[in-house]
């Protein structure tokens, strides 16, 4: 038994010691993410009314922000939890739309949940959507919303259905 454990330890040490350097992260986007276009599309709908803005599309994430002001606060003056969910779904929906080939597929929201961690009463909140699963029929996105001090405000998980029809939008 001891020799088996020593052999296993030796293999683990060998793997750690001689691990290959990490490969460069491959971008998840089907084509380049058009930040200006999606912000323009959002101006005349809920996104624009709430001040939601897409800031950055990294190789495996989408980042946006939203102000905490009279438009997004609940009567007690804190960020409304439902508005946090709107930010999360906005980020996941835009991300999902550009992971697939829009000539063949489009994505729609299927389920969303949120855990509200901290209240915010002013400033900006920032959301980052990252994929947990990108499949041929569904996608699952993790969206973390933080305040200006990078403290966690809300964690959301968004499930998107991938439909085998071209995107009409």
Beta bridge partners of 44: none
* In contact, 89 and 158? CB cutoff 8 Å: yes
Structure tokens at 149: 């001090």
**Which among 56, 89, 111, 148 is annotated as catalytic?**
89
Closest of 55, 79, 23 to residue 128, by C-alpha: 55
For residue 24 the two structure tokens come to 């460069």
Write down the H helix ranges in 18-151. 35-42, 46-50, 81-99
Is 89 an active-site residue? yes
Q: What is the DSSP letter of 91?
A: H
Q: How far apart are CA 142 and CA 157, in angstroms?
A: 5
Tokens, residue 40: 């323009």
- Name the residues annotated as catalytic: 89
């Amino acid at each position: 038994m001891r020799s088996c454990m020593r052999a296993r330890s030796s293999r683990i040490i060998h793997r750690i010691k001689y691990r290959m350097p990490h490969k460069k992260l491959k971008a998840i986007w089907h084509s380049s993410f058009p930040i200006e276009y999606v912000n323009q599309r959002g101006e005349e709908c809920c996104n624009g009314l709430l001040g939601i803005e897409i800031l950055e599309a990294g190789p495996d994430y989408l980042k946006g922000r939203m102000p905490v002001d009279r438009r997004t606060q609940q009567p007690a003056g804190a960020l409304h939890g439902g508005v946090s969910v709107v930010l999360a779904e906005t980020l996941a929906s835009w991300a999902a739309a550009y992971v697939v080939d829009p000539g063949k597929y489009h994505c729609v929201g299927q389920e969303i949940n949120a855990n509200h961690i901290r209240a915010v009463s002013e400033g900006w909140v920032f959301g980052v959507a990252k994929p947990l699963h990108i499949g041929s029929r569904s996608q699952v996105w993790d969206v973390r919303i933080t305040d200006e001090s990078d403290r966690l405000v809300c964690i959301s998980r968004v499930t998107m259905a991938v439909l085998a029809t071209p995107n009409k939008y």
